[in-house]
Amino acid sequence: MKTELSRTLGIEHAIFGFTPFPAVAAALTRAGGFGVLGAVRYTAPDDLARDLDWMQEHTDGLPYGLDVVMPAKKVEAAPGGQTLTEADVEAMIPEEHRAFVRATLAKHGVPELPEGEASGWRITGWMEQVARGQLDVAFDYPIKLLANALGSPPPDIVARAHDHGVLVAALAGSARHARHHAEAGIDIVVAQGYEAGGHTGEIASMVLTPEVVDAVSPLPVLAAGGIGSGEQIAAGLALGAQGVWLGSIWLTTTEAELHSRALTAKLLAAGSGDTVRSRALTGKPARQLRTEWTDAWDDPAGPGPLPMPLQGLLVAEAVSRIQRHEVEPLLGTPVGQIVGRMNSERSVQQVVDELTRGFEKAVDRINRIAGRSES
């Protein structure tokens, strides 16, 4: 599965994978794809450095990338333009919302974290100062791609990446966003459709991909959202993409470190209709498993989610408690509609093998339909 972009990056298959797990990213790179490690959960630069050291040792000199979350609009800016600290942002959370979290946890009997155990689910990586700290670490490593969710990275970051010979990718949920990325000097646009896990827009991949391809031509576009088979890869390439970008499919691989058998079981059992695009987790619409937790936040009788980054800070400890104690009705994760096809645990290599086999079959079928092959 070679395209111009895969040749530029020196990879065997134009399959890019976003994942929060170093073991998955490294395995995908070793399998001939391109692993992209999500940095948003690394609040301590030393932790990111440790995992990038590990990536270096486990990727056989093959290319990989890093994904940060720098929202286009600084989310922690006060009206005067002054940058707020995490504590300032915490202080903005209304008591009504804190009480709602306490009541929802109490309703489901969610125990406290064990004495001395810190909340592990603390995502502040979308605060610009945290993301900049991650990049200070990342540019010391031979990453080949820097991806950004939620907007174009600031011009100084794009320039710094290019100075390091790093290509810059950015996710786009509309042709307008994609054009903005092109104007900002981004090298690759990830057209991410409504079906995708995580923060997503409202346009489905089938409509979005060709719109973005047209909008930013000749920049390369990766199709994302709802891709979990070789046939879907063939569809993405047929729509003009130079590769595909997958996130959900890796969550049920044997290398993924979900740390919860109950969550893996929920993902394996879920159908394509079991996700919801909700602001419950971060304050911005993100597709995730539908749970009683998302239902509570989406209930018009409740206070509703706060904007980013307040909601993420508000629910961080609660999410840790739910995960730690595997409280089944509330247990969830960002995941896309492709979860309906994630029905067995496989290694990353097995997933890549199936994707490439399926792609070849789909291409053969289309060739037969087009009358280009006798077989």
Residue 97 vs 178, nearer CB to ligand FMN: 178
| Binding segment (CB under 6 A) for ligand FMN, from list 47-55, 74-82, 131-139, 218-226 | 218-226
Beta-sheet pairing, 286-289 with 198-199: antiparallel
Residues contacting residue 6 through CB under 8 Å, at least 6 positions apart: 12, 13, 14, 242, 243
User: 246 and 358 in contact (C-beta within 8 Å)?
Assistant: no
Interactions with ligand FMN, residue window 92-111 (CB under 6 A): none
Report the residue from 5, 14, 15, 18 that binds ligand FMN according to the rule CB under 6 A: 18
Report the residue from 22, 32, 197, 220 that binds ligand FMN according to the rule CB under 6 A: 197
Beta-sheet pairing, 221-224 with 188-192: parallel
Residue 62 vs 335, nearer CB to ligand FMN: 335
Please give the residue whose beta carbon sits closest to ligand FMN in the complex: 247
Angle at 30 between CA 347 and CA 251, to 5 degrees: 35
Instruction: Tell me if 171 contacts ligand FMN by CB under 6 A.
Output: yes
Residue 197 vs 210, nearer CB to ligand FMN: 197
Angle at 192 between CA 52 and CA 17, to 5 degrees: 30
Residue 32 vs 312, nearer CB to ligand FMN: 312
Phi-psi bin for 141: left (phi > 0), alpha (psi -120 to 50), beta?
beta
Which sign does the torsion angle of CA 160, 245, 65, 37 carry? positive
Residue 55 vs 147, nearer CB to ligand FMN: 147
3-state secondary structure of 83: strand
Residue ranges of the alpha helices (H) in 58-147?
A: 86-91, 95-107, 128-138
Instruction: Tell me if 335 contacts ligand FMN by CB under 6 A.
Output: yes
Residue 97 vs 266, nearer CB to ligand FMN: 266
Report d(CA 245, CA 35) in Å as an integer.
Answer: 10
Residue 97 vs 200, nearer CB to ligand FMN: 200
Report d(CA 243, CA 106) in Å as an integer.
Answer: 46
CA contacts within 13 A on the Cβ side of 266: 22
User: 82 and 52 in contact (C-beta within 8 Å)?
Assistant: no
What is the smallest separation between the CB atom of 307 and ligand FMN, expressed in angstroms?
Answer: 18
Map tokens 């709602």 to a residue.
100
Report the residue from 9, 11, 69, 216 that binds ligand FMN according to the rule CB under 6 A: 69
What is the smallest separation between the CB atom of 102 and ligand FMN, expressed in angstroms?
Answer: 26
Instruction: Tell me if 236 contacts ligand FMN by CB under 6 A.
Output: no
Q: Which two tokens stand for residue 83?
A: 């940058």
Instruction: Tell me if 138 contacts ligand FMN by CB under 6 A.
Output: no
| Binding segment (CB under 6 A) for ligand FMN, from list 92-100, 127-135, 256-264, 334-342 | 334-342
Residue 158 vs 338, nearer CB to ligand FMN: 338
Instruction: Tell me if 248 contacts ligand FMN by CB under 6 A.
Output: yes
Instruction: Tell me if 209 contacts ligand FMN by CB under 6 A.
Output: no
Residue 220 vs 247, nearer CB to ligand FMN: 247
User: 146 and 138 in contact (C-beta within 8 Å)?
Assistant: yes
Instruction: Tell me if 336 contacts ligand FMN by CB under 6 A.
Output: yes
Map tokens 């670490």 to a residue.
137
Report d(CA 190, CA 54) in Å as an integer.
Answer: 26
Instruction: Tell me if 334 contacts ligand FMN by CB under 6 A.
Output: yes
Kindly list the residues in this chain that would bind ligand FMN in the complex (CB under 6 A): 18, 38, 40, 67, 69, 147, 149, 171, 192, 195-198, 224-227, 245-249, 333-336, 338
